[in-house]
Chain A
C-alpha cells in the first residue's frame, strides 16, 4: 500500500542529494548530500522489505555501518586537508587538476 509513495519520495530525496552535490562547493555540505542519497536508498530498501522479506532491513543495517565508517574517514580527510590549505572550498583544492 505504501510502496508507491515510498519509492516516489525516495526518488525525490535521491535527486535532491545529487543536485546538492552539483550545487555546493563546501566539502562538508557535499558530504552531507551524499548522506542524503544513502538515506534515500535506505528508504527504498525498507519499503521493499515490507513486501519482499526482512533481508532489505538487514541491508539497511549494513548501509548504516558503511555510512558511519565513511563519515569517520571522510571527515578525518577533510580535517587533514583543512590543516594544509586552511579551506574546505573545493574550488581552492584543485592540485589534482594539473
Chain B
C-alpha cells in the first residue's frame, strides 16, 4: 500500500519535472515545478519525515516558488515568445549527457547501507511518535549547533547581498 503510493507520487514528481524542463512558458515551468515539490512533500511523509514535508510546502512551494513567479511576472516573461529551448543539437547533447548520468546513477537504486550502521526497521517511526519536530530539533540544537549558527550568518549575507544588488544607487 505504502509502496504503491510512493511510486504514484514518484511518478507525479518525475512527470512534473519532465514538463518543467520542456514547457515553453516560464510560468508553466514554474507551476509544474510546484507540482513536483508537492509530490516530494508527500514522499517525505511516507519516509517518516513529516516536519521536513511541512517545511517543503512552506519554504519551497510557498516562499521560493512565489519569489520565482514574482520575478517572472516582474520581467513580463509570461507572454508567449520565441522558444528558449535549444535546437536539435542542444537536445541531443542534453539527452546524451543526461542518459550517461542516469546510467552512472543507476547503481544508486541498488545501494544499501552496511548493516553495521543501519538502524533497526521502524526506529524513525518510533522516534516520530515522541513528536516529529523534537526528532529534528534535538540534533539541530545539539550536534549541529555551529552549522545552524553559520546558516544564520549565511542568511544575513544573502539579505545584504540582495539589497545591494537590487538598489540602483547606494
Contact = CB atoms under 8 A, between A and B. Distances in A.
10 contacts: A14-B101, A16-B21, A25-B85, A32-B30, A46-B47, A61-B140, A62-B144, A68-B59, A70-B158, A82-B75
What does DSSP make chain A's interface, helix, strand, loop or mixed? helix
Contacts of A66: 151, 154
B20 A23 contact: no
Interface size class of B (residues with CB under 8 A): 35 or more
Interface size class of A (residues with CB under 8 A): 35 or more
Contact of A19 (B21, B136, B143, B158): B21
Given A24-B85, A35-B33, A60 B52 contact: yes
Interface string A64-98: 11111111110111111010000011000000000
B129 interface: no
Interface string A1-31: 1111111111111111111101111101101
Given A19-B97, A58-B139, A2 B47 contact: yes
A43 B84 CA distance: 29
What does DSSP make chain B's interface, helix, strand, loop or mixed? helix
Contacts of A76: 161-162, 165-166
Contacts of A39: 36-37, 40, 60
B132 to A, nearest CB: 10
Contacts of B90: 22-23
Given A2-B3, A7-B109, A72-B67, A52 B119 contact: yes
